[in-house]
Structure 1
Amino acid sequence: MSFGYRRFYRGPVAAVIFDMAGTIVDFGSRAPAGVFVEVFRRHGVKISLAEARGPMGAEKRAHVAELLAMPAVQARFVERHGRPSAEADVDAIYQDFIPLQIETLPQFSDLIEGAAETVAALRARGVRIGANTGYNREMMEVVQAAMARQGLELDSAVAASDVPRARPYPAMCLRNAAELAAPAVAACIKVDDTIPGIEEGLAAGMWTVGLTWSGNEVGLAPAEWAGLPTERQKALVARAEARMRAAGAHYVIGSVAELMPVVQAIEARLAAGEQP
């Protein structure tokens, strides 16, 4: 008889790679959504916040292209401009998006409650900390500097503009893993509040954790979220959780503050020989 043997990682979690907006900063992921609404308005096309949030997590030029590809948005573009959109329109909207996003980022870079404590707990276990984002490097550095001023430092930070193909492709996560000296992708956890971010982590062969009420899927400011009736909160969380699980997330939690029990659960699964 012939037998094959499989090599697999059974060590501890070595690295956690976070998204930025809606995951460790900017509760509700409000900075990019609002700017997309405004920049499209400046180009004569009205889009809703819900439409703006649809492609969230993608690299921002690709986000513009995905918005223009929506039939309803494209119809409004044609009505306003008398022709279908072209690549030049994607470029023009994106170029206007960049300075507007950079201008507004400092207002939306507060750490999400529990982020600093979770990172400290991870570091106490010897876990290295990375982050990646749909922002370009210039935008990311604004957010990274704001995080540092609040006491949260990263061991690796990768922007969408740093790789040939960003989310949902695995390049950013894999670059993070290399910079974090991870012994295997199975030793890494990707934490994200967007569907493309979960797909990115899965494509990279990592454990994935989706977030519900702190991020893009709910999309509310802290006071707005806190002011909702409990039943409404539960309904929004249930919808967000269903979407995250349908995207393949291994775990779904409310916010980064709830991550540590998941890390422990993943380490138990690794020790038992399970893989992502």
Structure 2
Amino acid sequence: MTTNTSSIQAVIFDWAGTIVDFGSFAPTSIFVEAFKQGFDFDITMDEAREPMGLGKWDHIQAVGRIPAVDKRWNEKFGRSMSSDDIDAIYSAFMPLQKAKVADHAAPILNSIEVVESLKAKGIKIGSCSGYPRQVMDVLIPVAADYGYKPDYIVATDDLPQGGRPAPFMALKNVIELSVTNVGACVKVDDSTPGIEEGHNAGMWTVGLLLSGNEAGLTYDEYLAATPEVLEAAREKAHAKMIKSAPHYLIDTIADLPEVISDIERRISAGERP
């Protein structure tokens, strides 16, 4: 075991839009498809992205509560979406997601190198996801083939208490990684529920602007973007992410090492999240 040379004990990462799947397209596109398959009902990609970070059943429920979606649903079915409707869409979502998630398992930028540099300092790597366990069981080995091997993984349905924005998944990482101080942990995420999860767990929080759900750029779009396009995407994501008041906002995980150094400095100076 590597001796910890940092004042940080653990960094807990989200998955899609943070470590893998630039733009968080695996869940988003499948939500659109699941609504279509389950009820021949159309939602937009922006509507599918709106509640990202929640567990997937809760996400479907939240999409159904978007006023424009609820209006169209009432026009088509004469009522608002019910729990049975959500169950049916979730049932359509699951096999689609399991079939597609491996196609979106490529690491974002230099995420593997960043993670390995943290491990080299003795920092433990936790992770949690809005994906349920049966989807994670498909994603985990594919991500491992790319080189991503966190020390612990929690899926959104692993715990009876539920998922984000509650702190339970983050705190399960704390317990399993034998972390002694939540104030020595960092939560990194591309969604507001994931940042709120970190706050609720008493951790430092880092939000990602350009690689995740809120900017909604593909990797190719990101590479080809002009400074003006990137700034527009950054501002769009910032407007959403700032509502959860992360301690830091950065473009992608490539910018994380500087933030880690600053958090180490602040912890060493006696600061808490």
TM-score between the two structures when normalised by the length of structure 1: 0.94
> How far apart in 2 are the matches of 1:38 and 1:96?
9
Residue in 2 aligned with 1:98?
94
Residue in 2 aligned with 1:221?
218
User: 1:120-179 deviations in whole A, cap 9, x for unaligned?
Assistant: 110111001111000000111211111111112111000000122200000000001111
- How many residue pairs get aligned? The number is 266
How far residue 229 of structure 1 moved from its aligned partner, in angstroms, is 2.1
Structure of larger gyration radius: 1
Residue in 1 aligned with 2:142?
146
Contact 1:26–1:110, Cα closer than 8 Å, also in 2: yes
Residue in 2 aligned with 1:270?
267
Say whether 1:167 aligns with 2:164: yes
State the SS of the aligned residue for 1:155: coil
Q: Residue type of the partner of 2:153?
A: A
Q: Residue type of the partner of 1:157?
A: I
Contact 2:183–2:203, Cα closer than 8 Å, also in 1: yes
How far residue 200 of structure 1 moved from its aligned partner, in angstroms, is 0.5
Residue in 1 aligned with 2:238?
241
Q: Which residue, out of 6, 16, 33, partners 1:21? A: 16
State the SS of the aligned residue for 2:153: strand
User: 1:84-131 deviations in whole A, cap 9, x for unaligned?
Assistant: 221111111111111111111011110111111001110111001111
User: 1:188-238 deviations in whole A, cap 9, x for unaligned?
Assistant: 100000010000000000000000111101111111122222111112112
Contact 1:45–1:73, Cα closer than 8 Å, also in 2: no
Residue in 1 aligned with 2:82?
86
Question: Runs of 5+ in structure 2 lacking a partner?
Answer: 1-5
State the SS of the aligned residue for 2:157: helix
Residue in 2 aligned with 1:47?
43
> How far apart in 2 are the matches of 1:99 and 1:176?
27
Contact 1:12–1:267, Cα closer than 8 Å, also in 2: yes
Say whether 1:56 aligns with 2:25: no
Moved more, 55-64 or 249-258: 249-258
Residue in 2 aligned with 1:158?
154
> How far apart in 2 are the matches of 1:78 and 1:242?
30
Identity of aligned residues (%): 44
What aligned pairs does 1:117-136 form with structure 2 within 5 A after superposition?
117-136=113-132
Contact 2:189–2:207, Cα closer than 8 Å, also in 1: yes
Moved more, 37-46 or 166-175: 37-46
Question: Runs of 5+ in structure 1 lacking a partner?
Answer: 1-10
How far residue 63 of structure 1 moved from its aligned partner, in angstroms, is 0.2
> How far apart in 1 are the matches of 2:82 and 2:117?
48
State the SS of the aligned residue for 1:130: strand
What aligned pairs does 1:31-46 form with structure 2 within 5 A after superposition?
31-42=26-37, 43-46=39-42
> How far apart in 1 are the matches of 2:197 and 2:154?
13
> Displaced runs of 4+ in structure 1, greater than 3 A?
none
Contact 1:46–1:76, Cα closer than 8 Å, also in 2: no
Contact 2:192–2:243, Cα closer than 8 Å, also in 1: no
> How far apart in 2 are the matches of 1:253 and 1:98?
32
> How far apart in 2 are the matches of 1:85 and 1:263?
43
State the SS of the aligned residue for 2:188: strand
Moved more, 21-30 or 178-187: 178-187
> How far apart in 1 are the matches of 2:80 and 2:198?
34
Q: Residue type of the partner of 1:75?
A: K
Contact 1:44–1:80, Cα closer than 8 Å, also in 2: no
Contact 1:30–1:108, Cα closer than 8 Å, also in 2: yes
